[in-house]
Amino acid sequence: MKKVTNPIRTARVQKAADENYRVKTLEMDCDLPQALPGQFLMVWVPGAGEKPMSIGNSNPLTISVAKVGKVSGELHALKAGGMVSFRGPFGKPFNIPERAKRILVIGGGYGVVPMYFLAKVARENGIAPLAVIGARTAKDIVWEKQLFTVCKEVFVTTDDGTRGKKGNVLAEAQWLIEGKKIDAVYACGPERMMEAVAQLCVAHKIPCEVSVERYMKCGVGVCGSCAIDGKLCCVDGPVFSAEEALSFAEFGKSRRDASGRKC
Ligand SMILES: Cc1cc2nc3c(=O)[nH]c(=O)nc-3n(C[C@H](O)[C@H](O)[C@H](O)COP(=O)(O)OP(=O)(O)OC[C@H]3O[C@@H](n4cnc5c(N)ncnc54)[C@H](O)[C@@H]3O)c2cc1C
């Protein structure tokens, strides 16, 4: 009989915590030791659908959900004791260069979540992570406290200046890249932000990877929903090198919504 390589698993939520008015973190009662930073789960809510969610921690398995629609709304309503079904981990993870001593992680919105997982694993391997996190307002910041536990320094920016430096992450990223010896940069968040970070790193010849989000259905390279310039975000990504992401005509410019329309 053929072995099922990625069976659906079900875990119990052991902790459900509001990060802010929109984002909730769900900590499961299990670990996922094979998960690597940058990978995602396909999280299934019976009757609502299945959606990719970044892994925020593998030990215990943790995700953070921004409430925007059907599946995220159902996940958001979960409390401790509720059940979550998922497949995975899927996708290509982030790569840390072999001799890296200091890395910079940059997160915008809930893009901070996989950056924590990467920073944590880097720290466990003797690498010093620095972090820049950005949000629209102070109320939109997530996972700042978690990042402080694993990063040497954390710099915060908000668009309206209600917390940290006023502005976006780019200025902070630029002075860190120019002023400190950074061996690699990683970004996850709004695509225009990642595009600017990728351009900055290419200009400074610093290895950089970004995590690209596209509308996904199967998560395993079969349906083609997450195609981006001939690549499939679910199996060729979601992590791409800065150079590869910048070569995608639609990166930072457009994407398809659930109906398949470009937006
Ligand atoms: C690799 C990856 C990692 C992700 N990680 C996280 C995470 O950690 N936390 C999190 O909250 N979300 C994450 N997402 C987004 C998540 O998978 C869903 O897209 C989101 O939760 C909306 O699903 P929904 O069923 O609630 O909304 P729906 O009811 O499907 O849609 C609500 C609205 O949002 C639009 N929409 C939904 N998803 C997309 C999309 N991907 N691109 C463009 N338009 C879209 C729909 O067209 C609709 O207008 C990730 C996506 C990817 C590809």
- Residue-wise DSSP of the chain: -PPPSS--EEEEEEEEEESSSSEEEEEESS--TT--TT-EEEEEETTTEEEEEE-SEETTEEEEEE--SHHHHHHHT--TT-EEEEEEEESB-----TT--EEEEEEEGGGHHHHHHHHHHHHHTT-EEEEEEEESSGGG--SHHHHHHH-SEEEEEETTSSSSEES-HHHHHHHHHHHS--SEEEEES-HHHHHHHHHHHHHTT--EEEE-----SSSSSSS-TTEETTEETTTT-BEEEHHHHHHSTTTTT--B-TTS-B-
| CA-48 nearest atom, ligand 1 | 25
Q: Is the CB of 167 under 6 A from ligand 1?
A: no
Query: 176-211 pLDDT, tens per residue?
Result: 998 888 999 999 999 999 999 999 999 999 999 999
For 229, phi and psi rounded to 5 degrees? 45, 50
Please report the domains of the chain, with CATH numbers, ordered by start residue: 9-90 (2.40.30.10), 102-211 (3.40.50.80)
Residue 258 predicted with pLDDT over 90: no
Pocket test for ligand 1, best of 84, 213, 214, 253 (most atoms within 8 A of CB): 213
Residue 39 in contact with ligand 1 by CB distance below 6 A: no
Report the pLDDT value the prediction gives residue 7, as an integer from 0 to 100. 86
Predicted pLDDT of residue 138: 95
- Rounded distance between C-alpha atoms, residue 139 and residue 153, angstroms: 21
Ligand 1, atom 13, residue with closest C-alpha: 53
Distance separating alpha carbons of residues 58 and 62, to the nearest angstrom = 7
Find out whether the beta carbon of 214 lies less than 6 Å from any atom of ligand 1: yes
- Residue 257 Cβ contacting ligand 1 at under 6 Å: yes
Ligand 1 pocket member 49 (CB < 6 A): yes
Q: Among 51, 143, 257, which residue has the most ligand 1 atoms within 8 Å of its CB, making it the best to mutate?
A: 51
Tell me: pLDDT of 2 over 90: no
pLDDT digits (tens, 9 = 90+) for 90-128: 999 999 998 999 999 999 999 999 999 999 999 999 998
> What pLDDT shows up at residue 45?
92
**Ligand 1 pocket, 122 CB below 6 A?**
no
What is the percent of the chain with per-residue pLDDT over 90, rounded to a whole number?
86
List, in order, residues 6 or more apart from 253 with CB less than 8 Å away.
none
Per-residue pLDDT, 79 = 95
Say yes or no to pLDDT of 257 above 70: no
Report the atom number in ligand 1 closest to the C-alpha of 65.
Answer: 11
Tell me the mean pLDDT in the region 16-45.
Answer: 96
pLDDT at 71 over 70: yes
Assess contact for 155 and 172: CB atoms under 8 A. yes
Average confidence (pLDDT) over 77-88: 95
